[in-house]
Structure 1
Amino acid sequence: MTLSLVGKNILVTGVSRPMGIGAAITKILAKAGANVITHGYSNYDKEQQYKDTAAHFPSTLANKLAEEGHCVTALESSDLSLKDVPEQIIAEAASKFGYLDGLVLNHAYSVCMSLEEWTAEHIDAHMNINIRASMLMIKAFAKQKPQNRNSAITLFTSGQYLGPMTREIAYAVSKDAIIGLCKQAAIALAPQSIRVNCVNPGATDTGYCEGEAYETVEKMFPRGRWGTPEDAAKLVHFLHSDYADWITGEVIASEGGFRRDITLD
């Protein structure tokens, strides 16, 4: 039993900017010995106007970790909303080392919008990227996995099952569906020795919130700080290690004691 990931080939999605959870996951898995393949979509970061948007970040990260003696391969940026792309990504990632035995579906589409402003396009974007792409990737992952390998899939949900997110209902609905996907896929894939779990990282400081709103959220944590991408990455590391061999079908809230009795305007 070990936290070492030596010999494990793991694909991580949603790796596109320095401050994101995907970057932290990539670093910790690579430093634990895994062969990591990353995928991201930088155009989304541009649309959201993230301050750390960088079109070439995935390859820059891969090169930096390679210089430190780790094995990371960055796939070309592509859009998971396109119906053929999710399975193509699995095939391309598997070809790098012959197969994948780990899958971290960290990607997410989220655009704030009030109920009165909803459009079919707004709803479809959340469902297609957050749910459909994840389902297709899980299907392709299970198909390519060697029979003699114990494997793990980690999905990401949010806090919508613990409290309202009324400015992000399309996102919240899609993330609630991810919980259902986790529980159903865990049973369906158990005979293939594939574990499936779901992480709720809570409010995480990835650079999307600043000023008074940032300070308000900060006060909702008993320890007086936001969650960090590294906090989430450590849990993902554990779930893909031998220590988590008996854990499947679980939704794990890693929120640092986040208090929802303090409400935001």
Structure 2
Amino acid sequence: MPALDGRVVLVTGASRRIAIGAGVARRLVADGATLLLHSWSPHDAEQQWGADEGGVDALVEELRAAGGTVEHVSMDLADPAAPHALVDAAHVAFGRLDAVVANHARSSGQNLEQLTAAEIDLSYAVNTRATLLLVQAFAARYDDAPGGRVVVFTSGQYRGAMPDELPYIASKAALHELTASLAVHLMPRGITVNCVNPGPNDTGYADDATRAALSAHSPGGRWSTPADTARLIGWLLSDEADWVTGQTIASDGGFSSL
């Protein structure tokens, strides 16, 4: 029997087929999970890499062709009502929700001189507030049985400086520090909470020079891939990881920015 057979999982931030959310979705379908995918492509359209036109629809078709039961919701997580609405959508579609993979992220590319109050607030709203409210909404409707799972994402700010991404790393550092407290609160209810740092991940935003420079800091001589991250997520959601909680785990091949 597949490791996640019968489990319903919400995966946020799955708007680009080349990125981590899509990689996680492919792995979870292969492991037998039923999925609600979340996306918000207008954020990608603002970035240098641009939106993946038709990407989510194509991903849903791909996953269904692979035998997956998959639904999709597009929603702006800057809206404080959106996290609870996403959890409601999972219950409407599937009658339950067993796990949340909070993969979504807002990136702004602001250094100290470029920093604005508006971007700080928006980054915290999307990256930190929305994740906390997702956990709250999920836990409020969970049936207190073994097997509940929450996976949040941080970045590499605790391993090395990222001076050109200040709003992003500040909001991601908050999730890193929240993980242990959420884990202690929810473990008695059968829910584990863990945090993943996927390391520099080759999702189509970097040029060749950047790839080469960062690869030089990797003992394995390459960047992480969405499939690398997805393998860890699949394990954390499985029964084999039921005694692992409150942890921040780097899936980065030993990357060092030093």
TM-score by length of 2: 0.96
1:97 aligns with 2:117: no
Pick aligned residue for 1:71 from 62, 69, 72 = 69
Q: In structure 1, give the amino acid aligned to 2:165.
A: E
Q: Is the contact between residue 149 and residue 237 of structure 2 (CA under 8 Å) also seen in structure 1?
A: yes
Unaligned runs of at least 5 residues, structure 1: none
1:132 aligns with 2:157: no
Structure 1 residues 39 and 208, CA gap change in structure 2 (3 angstroms): same
Unaligned runs of at least 5 residues, structure 2: none
Aligned counterparts of 1:78 and 1:251: Cα–Cα separation in 2: 27
Aligned counterparts of 1:190 and 1:148: Cα–Cα separation in 2: 10
- The aligned counterpart of 2:57 is 59
- SS in structure 1 of the partner of residue 134 of structure 2: helix
Q: In structure 1, give the amino acid aligned to 2:54.
A: H
**1:102-113 equivalence runs, <5 A:** 102-113=99-110
- The aligned counterpart of 1:19 is 18
- The aligned counterpart of 1:36 is 35
C-alpha deviation, 1:134, in angstroms: 0.5
Aligned counterparts of 2:61 and 2:166: Cα–Cα separation in 1: 38
- SS in structure 1 of the partner of residue 243 of structure 2: coil
Aligned counterparts of 2:189 and 2:180: Cα–Cα separation in 1: 15
- The aligned counterpart of 2:244 is 247
Deviation sequence 1:61-102 (CA, Å, 0-9, x none): 112221222212111x21100111111111112221111001
- The aligned counterpart of 1:114 is 111
Aligned counterparts of 1:259 and 1:187: Cα–Cα separation in 2: 30
Aligned counterparts of 1:198 and 1:83: Cα–Cα separation in 2: 22
Deviation sequence 1:190-235 (CA, Å, 0-9, x none): 1111000000010000011012122111111111111101000000
Q: Is the contact between residue 3 and residue 238 of structure 1 (CA under 8 Å) also seen in structure 2?
A: no
- SS in structure 1 of the partner of residue 113 of structure 2: helix
Aligned counterparts of 1:55 and 1:144: Cα–Cα separation in 2: 34
C-alpha deviation, 1:149, in angstroms: 4.5
Aligned counterparts of 2:231 and 2:7: Cα–Cα separation in 1: 16
C-alpha deviation, 1:49, in angstroms: 3.3
Pick aligned residue for 1:238 from 200, 211, 235 = 235
- The aligned counterpart of 1:179 is 176
C-alpha deviation, 1:151, in angstroms: 0.5
Pick aligned residue for 1:202 from 185, 190, 199 = 199
Q: In structure 1, give the amino acid aligned to 2:52.
A: A
Q: Is the contact between residue 59 and residue 73 of structure 1 (CA under 8 Å) also seen in structure 2?
A: no
- The aligned counterpart of 1:47 is 46
- SS in structure 2 of the partner of residue 115 of structure 1: coil
- SS in structure 2 of the partner of residue 171 of structure 1: helix
Pick aligned residue for 2:217 from 202, 215, 220 = 220
- The aligned counterpart of 1:258 is 255
Please list every run of at least 4 consecutive aligned residues from structure 1 whose deviation after the TM superposition is greater than 6 angstroms: none
Aligned counterparts of 1:86 and 1:65: Cα–Cα separation in 2: 24
Aligned counterparts of 2:169 and 2:63: Cα–Cα separation in 1: 34
Q: Is the contact between residue 160 and residue 256 of structure 2 (CA under 8 Å) also seen in structure 1?
A: no
Q: Percent of pairs identical after alignment?
A: 40
Q: In structure 1, give the amino acid aligned to 2:222.
A: R
Q: In structure 2, give the amino acid aligned to 1:99.
A: R
Aligned counterparts of 2:9 and 2:197: Cα–Cα separation in 1: 20
Aligned counterparts of 1:226 and 1:148: Cα–Cα separation in 2: 38
Aligned counterparts of 2:144 and 2:127: Cα–Cα separation in 1: 28
- SS in structure 2 of the partner of residue 117 of structure 1: coil
TM-score by length of 1: 0.94
C-alpha deviation, 1:3, in angstroms: 6.2
C-alpha deviation, 1:22, in angstroms: 0.1
CA RMSD of aligned residues (A): 1.3
Aligned counterparts of 1:31 and 1:165: Cα–Cα separation in 2: 35
